[in-house]
A = this chain, B = another copy of it.
Amino acid sequence: MKKVTLAQGSGGAAMQQLIAGLFMREFANPLLLEMEDQARIPLQQLATQGDRLAFSTDSYVIDPLFFPGGDIGKLAICGTANDIAVSGAIPRWFSCGFILEEGLEMALLERIVSSMAQTAVAAGISIVTGDTKVVPRGAADKIFINTSGLGAIPQELDWGLSRIQPGDVILTSGTLGDHGATLLNLREALGMAGELVSDCAVLTALIQSLRHQPGVRALRDATRGGVNAVAHEFAAASGCGIELNESALPVKPAVRGVCELLGLDALNFANEGKLIIVAARDAAEQLIAALQQHPLGRDAAIIGEVVTQPGVRLVGFYGIRRSLDLPYTEPMPRIC
């Protein structure tokens, strides 16, 4: 079976062959094929889409590489796309940096690259520049991927943390904790099957459905640290409090099962395809309706509100409030 070799990261002929035979073939697009040291994107193309460039980066180190609902390649497109898309921009141009371990099976690399390429094409994203490093056996675990992404933010949009105010409500675009619970189930060999699937998805279309709706203040995708981490970011940036309504949180039964088994809270689990939205209260119902039009927003719900008293709290079934701390650490490393 063919394996990745150190030569393929060395800058010599073996690397040229890997680039031409795999990356150029799978990611083929005019900007990439120019083969310069940098992609060159006409500013005119950006200017027709908006007035600010959105720029974000993430490295992906997830273990295992393949999981129900996705793989590291798909994740490396979805995660960075969503970090761009929550600004209101349409993610368009990506870079991609591979760190490969010597001995990685070529067939595995090809599956991952092909998954990246498919996810990117489906989302209208072009991988326009890249880099490949190979490290000796044992110096990395199989494969790490970095993607950085670009898109333009439409002039009329000003979604951001600074717009959050007391009286606003908090929405989610769907069920919480699916990605984290799926990975926990796999890694801890909990044996829960069937229903546990990562929600890993590009959210551009869902977010664009909000573009012409009034009342959106700020958007985040709730990844590492889950909804809890996002609620703390909202609270810290605005100086307001965030209160989440326990009975309103949409959580799938299988995810609830994992939580109960391990004594963990789905609010802290990573999602890879869920929005948390702060919105004006009088716009909320219409935003929920708009989200539910889209397959990725079917389970959209109002889950909380912004209040003046600082802090993040969970409002329980009998109206009892308890403080929701940001845990020092999440249950599991290498979740994304």
Interface residues of A, Cβ cutoff 8 Å to B: 5-7, 9-16, 34-44, 46-47, 50-61, 63, 83-84, 86-87, 89, 93, 95-99, 102, 128-131, 133-136, 138-141, 144, 146, 148, 150, 152-153, 160-161, 220-221, 223-226, 229, 232-233, 237, 268, 270, 325-330, 333-334
Interchain CB contact (< 8 A) of A55 among B44, B95, B97: B95
**What's the Cα separation between A330 and B54 when bound, in Å?**
37
In the complex the two chains form, is B61's CB within 8 Å of A135's CB? yes
Contact B131 A37 (CB under 8 A): no
List B contacts of A270 (CB < 8 A). 11
B-chain residues with CB within 8 Å of residue A226 when the two chains form the complex: 11
Which chain B residues lie closer than 8 Å to A16 at the CB level? 232, 326
> Known: A16-B326, A55-B150. Contact between A134 and B43, CB under 8 A?
no
The answer to whether A139 touches B36, judged by C-beta atoms less than 8 angstroms apart, is no
Chain A interface mostly helix, strand, loop or mixed?
Answer: mixed
CB pair A58 B224 closer than 8 Å: no
Residue in contact with A97 in the complex, picked from B10, B57, B150, B225, CB distance below 8 Å:
B57
Roughly how many angstroms separate A229 CA and B12 CA in the complex, as a whole number?
A: 7
Nearest opposing residue in chain B for A128, CB measure: B55
User: Is A86 a contact of B135 with CB atoms below 8 Å?
Assistant: no
Q: Of the candidates B43, B60, B96, which one forms a contact with A53 in the assembled complex, judged by CB atoms under 8 Å apart?
A: B43
Whether B138 pairs with A55 at a CB distance below 8 angstroms is no
Partner of A333, one of B57, B136, B327, B333: B136
Q: CA A63 – CA B136 in complex, angstroms?
A: 11
Residue of B nearest to A151 (CB): B38
Cβ contact within 8 Å between B59 and A133: yes
Given A59-B146, A99-B144, A141-B135; A42-B37 close (CB under 8 Å): no
A52 to B55, CA, bound (A): 16
Partner of A10, one of B6, B37, B140, B224: B224
Chain B residues with CB under 8 A of A35: 161, 233, 237
Residues of B within 8 A of A98 (CB): 59
Docked CA distance A229–B131 (Å): 15
Q: How far is the CA of A213 from the CA of B93 in the complex (A)?
A: 32
Which B residues lie within 8 Å of A224 (CB)?
A: 10-11, 15
Query: CA–CA, A36 to B233, complex, Å?
Result: 9
Shortest distance between the CB of A81 and any CB in chain B (Å): 11
Q: What is the CA–CA distance of A67 and B225 in the complex, to the nearest angstrom?
A: 37
Whether A140 touches B144, Cβ cut-off 8 Å, given contacts A53-B41, A133-B59, A229-B12, is yes
Q: Which residues of B contact A129 (CB under 8 A)?
A: 55-57
Nearest B-chain residue to A7, judged by Cβ: B329
Partner of A43, one of B50, B160, B333: B50
